[in-house]
Structure 1
Amino acid sequence: MENFKMIAKTLFGFEEILAKELQQLGAQEVQLGTRMVSFVGDKGFMYKANLALRTALKILKPIYHFRATNETNLYKGIQGIDWSKYMNSNQTFVIDTTVHSENFKHTQFVAQKCKDAIVDQFKDKYGQRPSVDKDYPDVRINIHIDRDQCSVSLDSSGASLHQRGYKTATNIAPINEVLAAGMLLLSGWDGSSDFLDPMCGSGTILAEAAMIACNIPANINRKEFAFEKWSDWDNDLFDQIVNSLMKKTKEFHYTITGYDKAPSAVMKAKDNIRNANLDDYIKISERNFFETEKENKGPLHMVFNPPYGERLDIHLERFYREIGDTLKQSYPNTNAWFITANLDALKFVGLKPSRKIKLFNGKLETRFAKYEMYEGSKREKFQNKENN
């Protein structure tokens, strides 16, 4: 099988983690970009990337590149591709566009012009044309224009890869699965300790933590990928890739726990965890984090997404102060990470974060902050080091 270049799209701040994931999977020529990483692999690797990457949103297969300064160039460029290689006139397609150009102001105009070029080619050659289906297309085409450079790619994923397939119920302020997985990997979570999400909402962070701990492919529960409708779809190869990935799963010997004080959230989280076939690894209970304390003696890894005040009406100052107090008083020997879009709220925690990473949750700029809670005081810990 021949190798070709691909592009994995991701969220801001996850480029290096995604590159590392690709290298560990066996990708060649891995190169970082902005919100994307390019790499080289064959068709089997394309299937594997879609199944296994935790921080990728899409896997694109570039097929053509040309210069376009106006709508005539754009139309001719798209017509320069032999579209019968990628679809037939009975199939449906859709065009997604990203435009950063002075020459083209509207993504919809670009999509319309590209659609016309494809449809006209089929009509001229075969006397009939494929139609557009925005919801369930057979072929999804990605057009990216940067100044006067136009890249045309086939989207091998279809719906965004954050749609893992296990989540049927979400809570009031859900977190994207790719964002959850990226936060966990940034926090250093590798399954070698107990884990707690003390405000678990619909259970996304818990599910992603369990899949990382057990090395379960991120998209194993997903119903379909766009490449399954391509003319070169190889079902046997796909099954081989799935089997080889599932052979690499591993056992997990610690606890993964989720708390939420809302009964509705606990119910939704349990449903989602069951859908993901992860209920053997995760225990969820209805509890208010501020009334809990650490259950086991060993180290604890904590990652959570507290309310930002963007959607939920809480008294932020008191709420964030309680997070700090609970960590300080009840959670020794814990690495606690949480994400917030309320940048002022971090001032109320009353603890100094040892790290702060800029991320985006949708369009919201956030900080992902780490708090290291030592056994005894920090000072004692350093004194003990000096005395040993």
Structure 2
Amino acid sequence: MSNDFKIVAKTFFGFEPLLADELLKLGAKKIEIGVRNVSFFGDIGFLYKANLSLRTAIRILKPIKTFQINDEKDLYSSVFNFNWEDYLSIDNSFSIESVLNTDFFSHSLFVSQRVKDGIVDRFRKLFGKRPDVDLEDPDIKINIHLSQNNLTISLDASGKPLNQRGYRSQTNIAPINEVLAAGIVILSNWDCESDLLDPMCGSGTFLIEAAMYATNYPANIKRNSFLFQNWNDWDSDLFEMIKTSVLNKVKPFDHKIIGYDKAPSAILKCKQNIINAGFEDVIEVCENDFFNTKKTNDQFLHLLFNPPYGERLKIDIESFYKQIGDTLKSNYTNSNAWFITSSLEALKYVGLRPSRKIKLFNGKLESRLAKYEIYSGSKKTHKQSKQ
């Protein structure tokens, strides 16, 4: 008899197909793409493996019950009558996160409060005591999803978002989210058969995510904890076996991953994060102003970066992005350059026509991931040379 159950992985807008592809390669069953999520089936070992390995998942949920509800009374009674003692003990702390897409309730905090009331009232009735709520560091995190009158209760398997990989102890003013960076590495179609350069590397997130991708290194192996370690069915021996299994799939990488930044403080932070991640033998970083650099050989180069948008780091958008375009065109022929920006105006000043533009969100900022193919001579000549 199969021990598989439904699991839901949350992700960013636009990353759903990337996450589905990751899950397929990992061995998930019955994969279905949703909006900012992908559902699939697997057993408890696969849930451990998904948390350890997935690059483009933000968190992983295990749905445990669905109800049909029509009003506040239904909400409370459904929660009160559910067997919470199978998942939660008096000694556990817990928290509740509610996500609403319904006409029945307008405030997620109200729904969370009523769910909390139902849980603690049940424990008081059964045991005369109740578990405590801990919003900061709970033992068990309960996710409530209400879509019209369909209520789904899930256990949060991850806890802290999965972008918190465990390697980034040092950051700069505007660090990119690790899951966003990992997804961009994949979206850029880097085949890991060329050198990769981040010419504005900051604290090194693109570099480290690229190194993990190129070596098939599990994204979240450095994390100290996951909330599934507090569940009743926690199997530490199985978890250690899964960790060993995913680490055995790490492979060598025969090219260079290089980072530049003009700020000495950024380079220091970047180097520390690279050491934390264990990639000091794969990634090279040095203090360099991209606008004063050029390619060091004739080999094809893959560039990937997150330039300032003018949101948190103040710059002259027009001159800065013109310099990006001029530097690429003059000094980086035989390259593909990808960068993300939330300043749609900025792309007008690059002076090069992007061959692709992909809509993404960096936090709440609508952004574009733009690709520039840099080659010598005219586009027509370049096309003919490829035929």
**TM-score of the two chains, using structure 2 as the length reference:** 0.98
The separation in 2 between residues aligned to 1:264 and 1:150, in whole angstroms, is 49
The separation in 1 between residues aligned to 2:335 and 2:37, in whole angstroms, is 33
Kindly report structure 1 stretches of 4+ aligned residues shifted beyond 2 Å.
375-386
The separation in 1 between residues aligned to 2:215 and 2:169, in whole angstroms, is 22
The separation in 2 between residues aligned to 1:372 and 1:68, in whole angstroms, is 54
Deviation at 1:172, TM superposition (A): 0.7
Residue correspondence of structure 1 range 258-277 to structure 2 within 5 A: 258-277=259-278
Give the secondary structure class of the aligned counterpart of 2:232.
Answer: coil
1:8 aligns with 2:12: no
39-48 or 104-113, which deviates more: 104-113
Deviation at 1:385, TM superposition (A): 4.6
1:118 aligns with 2:119: yes
Cα 1:385–1:176 change in 2 (3 A) is closer
The separation in 2 between residues aligned to 1:96 and 1:296, in whole angstroms, is 52
Give the secondary structure class of the aligned counterpart of 1:78.
Answer: helix
The residue type equivalent to 1:8 in the other structure is A
**Structure 2 unmatched ranges of 5 or more:** none
The separation in 1 between residues aligned to 2:224 and 2:177, in whole angstroms, is 18
> Which residue of the partner structure matches residue 175 of structure 2?
174
> Which residue of the partner structure matches residue 238 of structure 1?
239
Give the secondary structure class of the aligned counterpart of 1:129.
Answer: coil
Give the secondary structure class of the aligned counterpart of 1:102.
Answer: coil
Deviation at 1:333, TM superposition (A): 1.1
Equivalent pairs, count = 386
1:288 aligns with 2:289: yes
Deviation at 1:377, TM superposition (A): 3.7
Aligned residues of 1:189 and 1:209 also touching (Cα < 8 A): no
Deviation at 1:78, TM superposition (A): 1.1
Deviations 1:104-129 (A, max 9, x none): 11111111100010011111011111
1:161 aligns with 2:158: no
Give the secondary structure class of the aligned counterpart of 1:13.
Answer: coil
Deviation at 1:21, TM superposition (A): 0.1
> Which residue of the partner structure matches residue 301 of structure 1?
302
Cα 1:385–1:166 change in 2 (3 A) is closer
The separation in 1 between residues aligned to 2:183 and 2:15, in whole angstroms, is 6
Residue correspondence of structure 1 range 1-388 to structure 2 within 5 A: 2-385=3-386
The separation in 2 between residues aligned to 1:190 and 1:82, in whole angstroms, is 49
Deviation at 1:80, TM superposition (A): 2.8
**Structure 1 unmatched ranges of 5 or more:** none
Deviations 1:332-383 (A, max 9, x none): 1111100000001101001110000000000000000000112444332233
Aligned residues of 2:81 and 2:122 also touching (Cα < 8 A): no
Query: What CA RMSD, in Å, does the superposition of the two structures yield over aligned residues?
Result: 1.0
The separation in 1 between residues aligned to 2:310 and 2:178, in whole angstroms, is 21
Give the secondary structure class of the aligned counterpart of 2:105.
Answer: coil
The separation in 2 between residues aligned to 1:383 and 1:58, in whole angstroms, is 46
Deviations 1:51-101 (A, max 9, x none): 000000011000111122221111111123200110111111000111122
The residue type equivalent to 1:3 in the other structure is D
177-186 or 1-10, which deviates more: 1-10
The residue type equivalent to 1:261 in the other structure is K
The separation in 2 between residues aligned to 1:385 and 1:2, in whole angstroms, is 51
